[in-house]
Structure 1
Amino acid sequence: MIRTKDFYLKKIYNLEGKRIGVVKDIYINFYEKKLEGFEVSNTAFFSKKNYIDIDDIIDIGEDIVAKDLKSGNGLKFKDIKDLDVMDTQGRLKGAVEDLLIDRNNYTIKAIIVTSGFIDKILKGKEIFLLNECILGEDYVLYTGKENISFKSIPHNVNEYEFIKKI
């Protein structure tokens, strides 16, 4: 699994080896649960071509090799980053911080939610599966069960014990 922050500022080259730019943001399809492409911080000024489709990418390693640039529009990750996540009872779960993406087929598996800096240190981050989330205009609705949760816990936090909710 990889996260969206693993893509930011990766250099993008075309097939001839010329540097196109760097990754500025990622385009996602929340409903189909997949990565659509990348927004490119283009080296050519005033260029409307600032998008690389995921199908046009040859290789993603330390750098990205792609065929060509296009004009792109759609939902960017920055549009949903820091969006509130609420459960079905109206309780605030936190804010969207990152996405977990499958490295093999670039499908989005989960969202990482944090409820603040102090809670991130003490309790870790919560991970919600994407098929249990509904994207709205003002917030993300989490429809999953309360007694089943995934967490990303900071290293060396041994004093904190997790209590199973019944």
Structure 2
Amino acid sequence: MFKTRDFYLKKVYNVDGKKIGTIEDLYIDFYLGKILGFKISNHVLFSKKDYVAMEDVIDIGEDVIINDIKKDNGLEFKEIKDMEVIDTLGSVKGVLEDLIIDKQDYSIKGIVISSGLIDKMIKGKEIILLNRCILGEKYILYTGNEGVLFKSMPHNIESYHGSKKA
């Protein structure tokens, strides 16, 4: 699984090996739950072309190789990042922090929400399924079951290091 931060600042090249730019943001379709393409920070001055559709992406590895760059627009992830997520009772669950993206078909499987710095350290981040969310103008409505929770917890660093003996 990918997160959105795995794509940011990746270099983008065309099939001829010419550097086009770097990935600035992701265009998403929240309703269908998929990545539509990437917003590219273009190195060509005054160029209006800044959109790469997923159909034009040949390979995503350390760098991204594409067929074509276009002029297009859509819903950018940065537009909904930090948007409040509320449940059906009206209580705030947290804010949208990241997306969980499938490596095979680049579909969005879930969203990562956190309820603040202190809660993030104590309780971790909460992961909720995208198909239980409705995107509104001011917030995201979560209609899922409160009995099933996924969490992303900070790791205990000490358990990964062996104890040193004199």
Structure 2 CA distance for aligned equivalents of residues 51 and 34 of structure 1 = 16
Structure 1 CA distance for aligned equivalents of residues 84 and 50 of structure 2 = 28
Report the equivalent of 1:161: none
Q: Which runs of 5+ in 1 are unaligned?
A: 158-166
Structure 2 CA distance for aligned equivalents of residues 21 and 136 of structure 1 = 32
User: What are the within-5 Å matches in structure 2 for residues 13-162 of structure 1?
Assistant: 13-156=13-156
Structure 2 CA distance for aligned equivalents of residues 77 and 116 of structure 1 = 20
Count residues in correspondence. 157
SS in 1 for 2:68: coil
SS in 1 for 2:79: helix
Structure 2 CA distance for aligned equivalents of residues 73 and 20 of structure 1 = 18
1:16-69 deviation line (CA, Å, top 9, x unaligned): 000000000000000010000000000001111000000000000000000111
Which residue type is aligned with residue 127 of structure 1?
I
Q: Which of structure 1's runs of 4+ aligned residues deviate more than 3 A? A: none
Structure 2 CA distance for aligned equivalents of residues 144 and 150 of structure 1 = 12
- Post-superposition shift, 1:156? 1.6
Q: TM-score if structure 2 supplies the norm length?
A: 0.93
Query: Could you say which structure has the larger radius of gyration?
Result: 2
SS in 1 for 2:62: coil
- Post-superposition shift, 1:72? 1.5
Q: Which runs of 5+ in 2 are unaligned?
A: 158-166
